[in-house]
Structure 1
Amino acid sequence: MPFRPPGSAGWRSALRRATFLGLALALISSASPALAEKPAEARKFFQQQSTEHAPLPAHNPSKHFGAPQFPRPSMQAAPAEECDPARFTGNTGAALVDEIKSAGTDCINTLFSLSGADARGAFREEQMITVANAYRDNAVDYPGDNSTSTAQLVLFLRAGYYVQYGDPGSVGEYGPELEAAVQGALDTFFGNAESGTVSDENGEVLAESVTLIDSSAENGRYLDVVERLLTAYDSSYDQYWWMVNAVNNTYTVLFRGHQFPDFVDAVHADPGVLDTLHAFASQHLDLLGTDNSFLTANAGRELARFTQDEALRAKTRPMLTDLLGKSDLTGPTAPLWVGIAEVANTHDGENCAEYGTCDLPQRLVDAVLTVEHSCGPSISILAQQLSADELSATCTSLTGQDAFFHEQVQTGGQPVADDHNDTIEVVVFDSSDDYRTYAGAIYGIDTNNGGMYLEGDPAQPDNQARFIAHEAEWQPSFEIWNLNHEYTHYLDGRFTMHGDFAAATSTPTVWWIEGIGEHISYAYRGQPYPEAVEEAGKQTYRLSELWDTTYDNADTTRTYRWGYLAVRYMFERHPAELGTVLGYYRTGDWAGAREFLTGTIGTSYDEDWSNWLAECAAGACSTP
Structure 2
Amino acid sequence: MRPFRIAKANARRLPALGAAFFLALGLFAPQAHATPAKTPAPTTPTTTKSGTPRSIPLPKSPDTPRDARPLVSDAQAKPTAPAAGSAAEHRVAARQLAAAPCDVSGFTGKTGAALVQQVKGASLDCVNTLFQLTGNDAKAAFNEAQMVTVANALRDTSATYPGDNSTSASQLVFFLRAGYYVQWYNPDAVGAYGTNLQSAVRGALDGFFAAPHSKDVTEANGGTLAEAVTLIDSARENARYTGVVKRLLADYTTSWSGSMAAAVGNTETVISRGFELPEFTAALKADPSFATTVSSFVTRNSAQIDGGDIVTKIGIDLGNWVADDTLRAQGRPLVKDLINRYPLVGKTGPLTMNLLWFTEKKDGGNCSYYGTCDVPAKLVPLVLTSNHVCNPNLSIRSQSMTDQQFADTCTSLVNQDAFFHKIVKDNGPVKDDRNTSLEVVVFDDYYNYSLYAWSMYGIDVDNGGDYEEGHPDQAGNQARFIAHQASWLRPAFQIWNLNHEYTHYLDGRYDMYGDFDAGMTTPTIWWVEGLAEYVSYSYRGVHYDDAVTQAGKGTYKLSELFDTTYANSNQVRTYNWGYLAVRYMLQSHPQDVDAVLAKYRAGDWAGARTLLKTTIGTSYDADFATWLKACAADNCGSLPTTQAPLCTAADTRSYDKNCRRDGVAATTGNYSYNFLNLPAGVKQLTITTTGGTGNADLYYNGPSWATTSSYQSKSAGSGNAETLTITNPPAGYVYFSLYAQQGFNGVTVTTTYN
Q: Is TM more than 0.5 here?
A: yes
Task: Report the CA distance shift for 1:248/1:147 in structure 2 as closer, same or farther (over 3 A).
Answer: closer
2:440 aligned to 406, 411, 426, which one? 426
1:337 aligned to 341, 352, 368, which one? 352
Q: Check the 8 A contact 2:5/2:467 in 1, yes or no.
A: no
Q: Check the 8 A contact 1:373/1:391 in 2, yes or no.
A: yes
What is residue 274 of structure 1 aligned with on the other side? 291
Please state if 1:532 is matched with 2:532: no
Tell me by how many angstroms 1:319 deviates.
Answer: 2.4
1:587 aligned to 597, 602, 608, which one? 602
**Amino acid of the structure 2 residue aligned with 1:46:** P
Tell me by how many angstroms 1:391 deviates.
Answer: 0.9
Measure, in 2, the Cα distance between the counterparts of 1:289 and 1:536: 47
Please state if 1:577 is matched with 2:592: yes
Q: Check the 8 A contact 1:139/1:185 in 2, yes or no.
A: no
What is residue 430 of structure 2 aligned with on the other side? 416
Task: Report the CA distance shift for 1:348/1:7 in structure 2 as closer, same or farther (over 3 A).
Answer: farther
SS, match of residue 528 in structure 1: coil
What is residue 19 of structure 1 aligned with on the other side? 16
Task: Report the CA distance shift for 1:288/1:14 in structure 2 as closer, same or farther (over 3 A).
Answer: farther
- 1:151-166 aligned at under 5 Å gives the runs 151-153=184-186
Tell me by how many angstroms 1:237 deviates.
Answer: 11
Give the % identical residues. Answer: 39
- 1:98-177 aligned at under 5 Å gives the runs 143-145=176-178, 150-153=183-186
Q: Check the 8 A contact 1:515/1:560 in 2, yes or no.
A: yes
- Number of residue pairs the alignment of both structures matches: 509
Please state if 1:47 is matched with 2:80: no
- 1:106-505 aligned at under 5 Å gives the runs 143-145=176-178, 150-153=183-186, 251=272, 254=275, 267-271=284-288, 274-275=291-292, 277-278=294-295, 281=298, 289=306, 292=308, 299-304=314-319, 306-307=321-322, 315-324=330-339, 327-344=342-359, 355=370, 357-412=372-427, 414-475=428-489, 476-505=491-520
1:520-555 Cα offsets, whole Å, 9 max, x none, are 111111111112112222222222222222222222
What is residue 582 of structure 2 aligned with on the other side? 567
Q: Check the 8 A contact 2:321/2:330 in 1, yes or no.
A: no
Measure, in 2, the Cα distance between the counterparts of 1:618 and 1:4: 32
Q: Which protein is richer in helix relative to its size?
A: 1
Task: Report the CA distance shift for 1:145/1:525 in structure 2 as closer, same or farther (over 3 A).
Answer: same
Q: Check the 8 A contact 2:486/2:496 in 1, yes or no.
A: yes
- 1:32-43 aligned at under 5 Å gives the runs none
Tell me by how many angstroms 1:454 deviates.
Answer: 0.9
What is residue 543 of structure 1 aligned with on the other side? 558
Structure 2 portions without partners, runs of 5+: 32-36, 49-63, 78-133, 137-141, 150-174, 209-221, 250-256, 640-754
Tell me by how many angstroms 1:389 deviates.
Answer: 1.1
SS, match of residue 329 in structure 1: coil
Q: Check the 8 A contact 1:511/1:549 in 2, yes or no.
A: yes
Tell me by how many angstroms 1:428 deviates.
Answer: 0.8
Measure, in 1, the Cα distance between the counterparts of 2:5 and 2:28: 12
Measure, in 1, the Cα distance between the counterparts of 2:187 and 2:422: 53
SS, match of residue 522 in structure 2: coil
Tell me by how many angstroms 1:325 deviates.
Answer: 5.9
Q: Check the 8 A contact 1:431/1:472 in 2, yes or no.
A: yes
Measure, in 1, the Cα distance between the counterparts of 2:556 and 2:337: 55
SS, match of residue 474 in structure 1: helix
Measure, in 2, the Cα distance between the counterparts of 1:579 and 1:530: 28
Q: Check the 8 A contact 2:512/2:601 in 1, yes or no.
A: yes
Instruction: Give the alignment's TM-score, normalised by structure 1.
Output: 0.66
SS, match of residue 455 in structure 1: strand
SS, match of residue 42 in structure 2: coil
Q: Which moved more, 1:426-435 or 1:504-513?
A: 504-513
Measure, in 2, the Cα distance between the counterparts of 1:237 and 1:6: 49
**Amino acid of the structure 2 residue aligned with 1:365:** V
Tell me by how many angstroms 1:279 deviates.
Answer: 5.7
Task: Report the CA distance shift for 1:333/1:592 in structure 2 as closer, same or farther (over 3 A).
Answer: same
What is residue 91 of structure 1 aligned with on the other side? none
What is residue 597 of structure 1 aligned with on the other side? 612
Q: Check the 8 A contact 1:31/1:440 in 2, yes or no.
A: no
Measure, in 2, the Cα distance between the counterparts of 1:499 and 1:149: 54
1:270-304 Cα offsets, whole Å, 9 max, x none, are 445534653665588688556x46x7656545524
Measure, in 1, the Cα distance between the counterparts of 2:268 and 2:188: 18
Q: Which moved more, 1:14-23 or 1:567-576?
A: 14-23
Measure, in 2, the Cα distance between the counterparts of 1:45 and 1:189: 38
Task: Report the CA distance shift for 1:600/1:438 in structure 2 as closer, same or farther (over 3 A).
Answer: same
Task: Report the CA distance shift for 1:336/1:495 in structure 2 as closer, same or farther (over 3 A).
Answer: same
SS, match of residue 619 in structure 1: coil
Measure, in 2, the Cα distance between the counterparts of 1:148 and 1:350: 41
SS, match of residue 522 in structure 1: helix
Measure, in 2, the Cα distance between the counterparts of 1:296 and 1:565: 49
Tell me by how many angstroms 1:585 deviates.
Answer: 1.9
Q: Check the 8 A contact 2:4/2:15 in 1, yes or no.
A: no
Measure, in 2, the Cα distance between the counterparts of 1:4 and 1:405: 16
Task: Report the CA distance shift for 1:619/1:48 in structure 2 as closer, same or farther (over 3 A).
Answer: closer
Q: Check the 8 A contact 2:523/2:562 in 1, yes or no.
A: yes
Measure, in 2, the Cα distance between the counterparts of 1:622 and 1:285: 60
Measure, in 2, the Cα distance between the counterparts of 1:247 and 1:136: 28
**Amino acid of the structure 1 residue aligned with 2:456:** I
1:135-155 Cα offsets, whole Å, 9 max, x none, are 989986885336995233569
**Amino acid of the structure 1 residue aligned with 2:617:** G
Measure, in 2, the Cα distance between the counterparts of 1:138 and 1:46: 40
Q: Check the 8 A contact 1:488/1:517 in 2, yes or no.
A: yes
Q: Which protein is richer in strand relative to its size?
A: 2
Measure, in 2, the Cα distance between the counterparts of 1:491 and 1:151: 49
Task: Report the CA distance shift for 1:268/1:229 in structure 2 as closer, same or farther (over 3 A).
Answer: closer
Task: Report the CA distance shift for 1:499/1:594 in structure 2 as closer, same or farther (over 3 A).
Answer: same
**Amino acid of the structure 2 residue aligned with 1:547:** F
Q: Check the 8 A contact 1:420/1:461 in 2, yes or no.
A: yes
**Amino acid of the structure 2 residue aligned with 1:17:** L
**Amino acid of the structure 1 residue aligned with 2:452:** Y
Tell me by how many angstroms 1:511 deviates.
Answer: 1.8
Measure, in 1, the Cα distance between the counterparts of 2:562 and 2:247: 51
Q: Check the 8 A contact 2:11/2:517 in 1, yes or no.
A: no
Let me know the Cα RMSD of the aligned residues: 5.3
Q: Check the 8 A contact 2:3/2:468 in 1, yes or no.
A: no
